[in-house]
Structures are given as C-alpha cells and as structure tokens.
C-alpha cells in the first residue's frame, strides 16, 4: 500500500516538474520519495538551486516561507498547512521592533525558525548548523539573538568574545528534556555517545559528546567508530539512523522529543498536494520577500 502511493508520487512529481523537499524529522516513507532531505540550512540552499518550477515542502511553515523567499518565481506548497513551528510562532515583528529600540547598536541575529515577517527586520539568519560560524564571522560584538535562548546560549559559550543578549524563547520540544534524563540515559547505555541538538537546555548540552543540527547528528553517527548512540533530538532521527545503520544501536534520549507539527505530515499529504487536493501555496508580498531575503542571503554568504 505505502509502496503503491510512493510509486504514484514518484510518477506524478516527474510528470509535473515538482521537487519534494523533506526535513529530516518527517517519516521514513516520505524521506524515501523526497528529492532532497536534510536540516534547515541544507534545505534552504537546495531549494534555491532546484530546477523544478514547483516545490512541495514537507516540513513546517517557516521552511516553506524560506523556500518562497529564495525562489519567488516558484510555486511553493506547504504539504500540511497545519504544520507550524512552536518556536517560530513565539515572537513577531511588532515585539522585536519594540525590543530593538532598547538595543540600537546590536545586530539582530534570527534563527531561521522565525516567520518571514519577522525576518524582514533582522540583520542575518542562522541555522543550528551555521550559527556559531556566522556569529563569529560578523564584525559586530553586540548581538541580539532571537528567538531560541538555548541555541543562543550555546553560541555565546563558543564565542566568549561576543556580547550576546538573549530573549526567553525556544523550542518547547527540545527544552522539555532535563539533565536528569540525560544522566539516566547515559547510565542505561554506558557505551553510547550522547548526540544533542543545540535547542536543548545548556544543562543537557553540557553532558553531550557531540552538539549539532539534525544533519550534523546523522553525519556524526554515520562516521563514528562507536556502535551505540543516544539521540537528543526528535525521535524520528533515531529511527532514520536505525534504518541507515542497522549494525549500530540508537536510543532515544527522552520520549518527550516528539514535534507534533512535523508529525502532522503524512505521505497522503504529499500525494494530495501534488494532485491539488490539499496543501497550501505560500503567498508572500514582494516587499516581505525582498526584505526577508537580505538576511537569508547574508546567512548563505557567511555560512557557505
Ligand atoms: P535543523 O536546522 O537542525 O534541521 O533544526 C530544525 C528544527 O526545527 C529543529 O527543531
Ligand atoms: Fe519547531 Fe521545535 Fe518542532 Fe523544530 S522541533 S519544528 S523548533 S517546534
């Protein structure tokens, strides 16, 4: 049954010149039919270079908006219109415009998990895989880092020469994991390495053997000589890794690591988006695209 739908999707996407981008958090059967999969940074760069005129994003809304900003001439469809990002929805343009008044000589660095509208008033975007590199490359010392205070704290720790101001925001999924859970998991699996996403709290990051983006974690686990890993990000990553490396063992850091938004995406959503039965076309006005693009282009320039 799954194979039949997958075959139909592969046929239809070829006939209709469609590129399917899937974030690494979506289900295995979607990853199998995607043209590109990866972390937020890889997807935004791939989207820019994809030759197809239509892109279906199987991920969350800010990712589809990023594709539209980078490729305004393309038709960009978010496979499941209900898939937002709890972090991206925490801070809007009005709030940050007010905050900026208190920090006039600060560069505003926005995690890519922000709305297109908010990006229009920020100086540069970063992703989890590029944040340290980009903040380091900025000539400015004073940085206002939004919205993820955990990723921001991780960047600040790596770059003590910078003066980084943080706001109280972040991913409720990753931030729910405690140091006690990490200590317990390490006790249960004494031979495993702990690989953690920087959206986790500093107390968890401190215990990790490796800290990185979703793709960074997957690459590290693949290349490592170690046979066992505790995965500190969405449960789907441990699942994908287990398929990819059946001779290694992958354990969940915490069963709280479930992103309900990402999990809204199904293989049927992809099929329905292709045949025009569902999905939402991302529409952004020209000024939002032009203003938001500046900080995404800056991210690609400094992070490339
Ligand atoms: P990555 O950039 O690591 O893919 O992270 C995106 C995300 O939303 C993690 O929660
Ligand atoms: Fe957003 Fe967190 Fe889900 Fe990532 S895991 S998409 S940051 S809510």
Count of domains observed in the chain: 3
Phi, psi of 266 (to 5 degrees): -125, 165
**Distance in Å, CA 91 to ligand 2 centroid:** 14
* Tokens at 219, concatenated: 């690459």
**CA of residue 207 to ligand 1 center, whole Å:** 20
Reference 17, options 54, 57, 71; nearest CA is: 54
With CA atoms as reference, report the closest residue to 43 among 298, 296, 302. 296
Q: Dump pLDDT digits (tens) for 195-249.
A: 999 999 999 999 999 999 999 999 999 999 999 999 999 999 999 999 999 999 9
Which amino acid residue places its CA nearest to atom 1 of ligand 2? 85
pLDDT at 50: 87
Mean pLDDT (whole number) for 279-299: 96
* Section 11-24 average pLDDT: 96
**pLDDT tens per residue across span 171-185:** 999 999 999 999 999
The answer on 99 and 59 residing in a single domain is: no
pLDDT computed for residue 64 by the predictor: 96
- Cβ atoms of 211 and 203 closer than 8 Å: no
Query: Ligand 1 within 6 A of 39 CB?
Result: yes
| Whether residue 65 is found in the same domain as residue 45 | yes
Taking the centre of ligand 1 as the mean of its atom positions, its distance from the CA of residue 12, in whole angstroms, is: 29
Q: What is the mean pLDDT of residues 5-15?
A: 97
Please provide the average confidence, as pLDDT, over all residues in the chain: 96
pLDDT at 47: 79
Q: Are 116 and 83 in contact (CB under 8 A)?
A: no
Look up residue 103 and give its two tokens: 């920090």
280-281 β-sheet, strand order: 36-38, 18-23, 54-58, 75-78, 280-281
Pocket flag, ligand 1, residue 40 (CB < 6 Å): yes
CA distance 111 to 103: 18
Q: What is the domain-level CATH number for residue 275?
A: 3.40.50.10800
Residue 155 has a pLDDT of 98
| Residues across the chain | 304
| pLDDT score at 223 | 98
Instruction: Count Cα atoms within 13 angstroms, Cβ side, for 248.
Output: 26
Q: Are 178 and 193 in contact (CB under 8 A)?
A: no
Q: Which two tokens stand for residue 99?
A: 């905050």
Q: Do 21 and 152 have their domain in common?
A: no
Alpha-helical runs (H) found in the chain: 2-15, 28-31, 40-49, 61-70, 93-102, 116-119, 131-137, 149-158, 172-175, 179-188, 202-205, 214-223, 235-244, 260-263, 267-274, 286-303
Atom of ligand 2 nearest to the CA of 23: 6
| Whether residue 7 is found in the same domain as residue 141 | no
Rounded distance between C-alpha atoms, residue 161 and residue 144, angstroms: 14
Band (pLDDT 50/70/90 cuts) for residue 48 is confident
Percent helix, percent strand, percent coil in the chain, to nearest 5 = 45, 15, 35
Residue 141 and residue 72 share a domain: no
Residue of minimum CA distance from atom 4 in ligand 1: 39
How confident is the model at residue 87, as a pLDDT?
97
Note the pLDDT of residue 6. Answer: 98
Q: For the beta carbon of residue 219, count every other beta carbon within 10 angstroms.
A: 15
Whether 125 and 52 map to the same domain: the answer is: no
**Are 167 and 297 found together in one domain?**
yes
Ligand that comes closest to the CA of residue 128: 1
Average pLDDT over residues 259-277: 97
Cα separation, 135 vs 12, in Å, equals 42
* pLDDT at position 44 over 80: no
State whether 166 and 294 are in the same domain: yes
pLDDT in tens, 139-164: 999 999 999 999 999 999 999 999 99
Q: What is the pTM of this model?
A: 0.96
**Quick one: pLDDT at residue 8?**
98
Structural domain span for residue 215: 177-256
> DSSP labels for 151-175?
HHHHHHHH-TTSEEEE-S---HHHH
At 59, is the pLDDT very low, low, confident or very high (cuts 50, 70, 90)? Answer: very high
65 with 192, same domain? no
Question: How does residue 13 score in pLDDT terms, banded at 50, 70 and 90?
Answer: very high
């Amino acid at each position: 049954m799954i194979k039949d739908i997958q075959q139909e999707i592969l046929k239809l996407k070829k006939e209709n010149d469609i590129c399917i981008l899937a974030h690494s958090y979506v289900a295995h059967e979607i990853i199998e039919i995607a043209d590109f999969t990866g972390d937020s940074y890889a997807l935004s760069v791939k989207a820019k270079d994809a030759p197809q005129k239509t892109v279906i994003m199987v991920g969350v809304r800010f990712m589809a908006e990023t594709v539209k900003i980078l490729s305004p001439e393309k038709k960009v469809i978010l496979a499941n219109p209900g898939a937002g990002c709890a972090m991206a929805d925490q801070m809007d343009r009005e709030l940050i415009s007010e905050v900026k008044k208190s920090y006039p000589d600060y560069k505003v660095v926005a995690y890519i998990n922000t709305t297109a509208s908010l990006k229009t008033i920020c100086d540069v975007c970063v992703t989890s895989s590029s944040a340290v590199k980009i903040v380091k490359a900025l000539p400015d010392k004073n940085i206002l880092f939004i919205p993820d205070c955990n990723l921001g704290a991780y960047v600040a720790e790596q770059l003590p020469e910078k003066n980084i101001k943080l706001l109280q925001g972040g991913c409720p999924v990753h931030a729910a994991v405690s140091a006690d859970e990490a200590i317990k998991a390490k006790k249960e699996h004494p031979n495993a390495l702990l690989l953690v996403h920087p959206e986790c709290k500093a107390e968890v990051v401190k215990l990790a053997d490796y800290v990185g983006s979703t793709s960074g974690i997957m690459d590290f686990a693949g290349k490592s000589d170690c046979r066992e890993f505790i995965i500190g990000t969405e449960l789907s990553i441990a699942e994908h890794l287990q398929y990819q490396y059946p001779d290694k063992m992958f354990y969940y850091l915490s069963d709280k690591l479930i992103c309900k938004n990402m999990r809204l995406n199904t293989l049927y959503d992809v099929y329905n988006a292709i045949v025009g039965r569902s999905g939402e076309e991302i529409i952004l006005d020209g000024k939002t695209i032009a203003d938001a693009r500046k900080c995404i282009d800056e991210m690609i320039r400094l992070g490339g």
